[in-house]
Amino acid sequence: MSKIFDSIKKTIADIEADVQKFDAGNNAAGGRVRKAMQDLKNLAQDLRKEVLDVKNSRTEK
């Protein structure tokens, strides 16, 4: 689970410069930001599934 969370943190850190570039008017950076946000959405969904699986396995015992 921490591997997915680390990927989420890394993605956010990596995209920070592109967010600033987009705010400054660089439209190409906006495309990179949108792609990173889609990746974050997928990572978040994976983390949600993993948390649910762990939670369910704990209650089965």
Q: Name the residue range of residue 32's domain.
A: 2-59
| The model's pTM | 0.84
Q: How many CA atoms lie within 13 A of 39 on its CB side?
A: 16
Q: How many domains does the structure of the chain reveal?
A: 1
E strands, the chain, in order: none
CA–CA gap between residue 48 and residue 46 (Å, rounded): 5
Could you tell me which residues come within 8 angstroms of residue 43 by beta carbon, excluding any fewer than 6 positions away? 4, 7, 8, 11
pLDDT tens digits, one per residue of 42-53: 999 999 999 999
Q: What is the pLDDT of residues 1-60, one digit of tens each?
A: 799 999 999 999 999 999 999 999 999 999 999 999 999 999 999 999 999 999 999 987
